[in-house]
């Protein structure tokens, strides 16, 4: 039997960031990860930080995402100084290309609500698009420029979070799967097959696999997988300054000539195969907007699962009937963006019982009646 103040189940960006924040203030924390940290969606993501582009209008989700984006500069500096790892945070905006009449119509609506909310957004003519991103096709029309959006190296983020958490004293138990969980007013016990972990509080951060974890507790966490497939191209040098969004897809330049092209949205369960159809469509769309990539080497392909929820909002807060068990999951398309704010809110809940800001995301919203 191993005991700690807090047990975190799942070592993705969400679990590792919460572990880090709690250990920083002196709590003993164990992370139980059935594979290795980052093995789920967190290392497979694009790393875009797009609260504005991802929203259809004002609301709780936009507010949460804006709050998290605002935390990123200080969060990345702190992580750098505590882990020694640069997480490649960049805040040079994002560009959304307007490829057809439907895009133009949606752009008008988007500009309108941004104006109402006082959020910066600019419409660019074709020549202005090429001025800021000269490696795009000259045949394209205009675009929308979101000057405050950004990107981060999501793989580096997980590596840095693990390193910073270890410096703060977090113990990682990799290769151990949570098989059972019991809770009463005194605390929580988690079985992994290899060991039993006891603690005052458990935080469930199982990403797309959270339903299975909730089922073991007897609480319905209605998280389901939304598959995304990606292609990585290799070019000699960096090609784009910022994420380029086009027709529901995107390209993102990463350091040393890596270009990530994505990403499909497939509701097909836990099917992790990379398929010919998906790769064909990603490359076709990519080369249409950036023919200069036609000779790039295809360096990698992969698929993973976004943790989706029925209402599109994350699930953050205490599990009804099991107050010492907290859920932090269901971040869908924006878990990398939402990492700093989730860590802050969940740490506040564990340490001080603070519930402020959590109400719209409470797990209890899925309980009948």
Task: Give the integer Cα–Cα distance in Å for 188 and 205.
Answer: 15
Q: Provide, rounded to whole angstroms, the least separation between the CB of residue 43 and ligand FAD.
A: 7
Q: Provide, rounded to whole angstroms, the least separation between the CB of residue 208 and ligand FAD.
A: 6
Q: Are 263 and 47 in contact (CB under 8 A)?
A: no
Task: Give the integer Cα–Cα distance in Å for 28 and 30.
Answer: 7
Burial 5-17 (b: 16+ CB within 10 A, else e): bbbbbbbbbbbbb
Q: Provide, rounded to whole angstroms, the least separation between the CB of residue 101 and ligand FAD.
A: 27
* Cα–Cα separations (whole angstroms), residue 52 to 56, 59, 67: 8, 11, 12
Task: Give the integer Cα–Cα distance in Å for 78 and 291.
Answer: 39
Task: Give the integer Cα–Cα distance in Å for 105 and 12.
Answer: 37
Task: Give the integer Cα–Cα distance in Å for 49 and 65.
Answer: 9
- Segment near ligand FAD (CB under 6 A); pick from 40-48, 74-82, 93-101, 361-369: 40-48
Nearer to ligand FAD, 142 or 165 (CB): 165
**Rule CB under 6 A: is residue 161 a binding residue for ligand FAD?**
no
Task: Give the integer Cα–Cα distance in Å for 20 and 343.
Answer: 8
3-state percent helix, strand, coil for the chain, nearest multiple of 5: 35, 30, 35
Give the x/- contact pattern for ligand FAD in 255-294, rule: CB under 6 A: -------xx-------------------------------
Give the one residue of 6, 7, 8, 9 binding ligand FAD; rule: CB under 6 A: 9
Nearer to ligand FAD, 142 or 207 (CB): 207
Nearer to ligand FAD, 124 or 230 (CB): 230
**Rule CB under 6 A: is residue 41 a binding residue for ligand FAD?**
yes
**Rule CB under 6 A: is residue 322 a binding residue for ligand FAD?**
no
Interface of this chain with ligand FAD, residues 188 to 227, rule: CB under 6 A = 205-209, 213
Q: Provide, rounded to whole angstroms, the least separation between the CB of residue 197 and ligand FAD.
A: 11
Residues that bind ligand FAD (CB under 6 A): 9-15, 32-35, 39-42, 44-48, 177-178, 205-209, 213, 228, 230, 262-263, 304-307, 329, 331-337
């Amino acid at each position: 039997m191993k005991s700690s103040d807090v047990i975190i189940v799942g070592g993705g960006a969400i679990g590792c960031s919460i572990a880090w924040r709690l250990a920083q203030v002196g709590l003993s924390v164990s992370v139980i990860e059935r594979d290795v940290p980052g093995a789920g969606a967190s290392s497979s993501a694009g790393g875009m930080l797009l609260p504005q582009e991802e929203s259809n209008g004002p609301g709780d989700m936009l507010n949460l995402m804006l709050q998290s984006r605002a935390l990123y500069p200080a969060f990345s500096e702190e992580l750098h100084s505590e882990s020694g790892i640069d997480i490649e945070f960049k805040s040079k905006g994002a560009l959304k290309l307007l490829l057809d009449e439907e895009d133009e119509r949606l752009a008008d609506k988007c500009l309108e609500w941004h104006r109402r909310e006082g959020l910066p957004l600019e419409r660019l003519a074709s020549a202005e698009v090429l001025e800021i991103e000269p490696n795009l096709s000259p045949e394209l029309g205009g675009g929308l420029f979101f000057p405050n959006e950004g990107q981060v190296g999501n793989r580096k983020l997980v590596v840095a979070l693990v390193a910073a958490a270890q410096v703060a004293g977090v113990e990682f138990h990799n290769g151990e799967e949570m098989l059972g969980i019991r809770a009463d007013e005194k605390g929580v016990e988690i079985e992994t097959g290899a060991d039993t972990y006891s603690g005052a509080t458990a935080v469930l951060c199982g990403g797309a696999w959270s339903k299975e974890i909730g089922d073991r507790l007897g609480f319905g966490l209605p998280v389901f997988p939304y598959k995304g497939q990606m292609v990585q191209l290799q070019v000699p040098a960096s090609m784009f300054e910022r994420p380029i969004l086009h027709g529901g897809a995107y390209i993102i330049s990463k350091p040393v000539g890596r270009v990530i092209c994505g990403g499909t949205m497939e509701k097909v369960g836990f099917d992790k195969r990379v398929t010919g159809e998906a790769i064909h469509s990603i490359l076709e769309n990519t080369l249409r907007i950036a023919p200069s990539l036609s000779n790039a080497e295809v360096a990698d392909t992969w698929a993973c699962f976004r943790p989706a929820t029925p209402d599109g909002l994350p699930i953050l807060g205490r599990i009804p009937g099991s107050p010492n068990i907290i859920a932090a999951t269901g971040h869908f398309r924006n878990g990398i963006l939402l990492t700093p704010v989730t860590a802050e809110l969940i740490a506040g809940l564990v340490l001080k019982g603070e519930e402020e800001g959590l109400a719209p995301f409470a797990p209890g919203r899925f309980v009948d009646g």
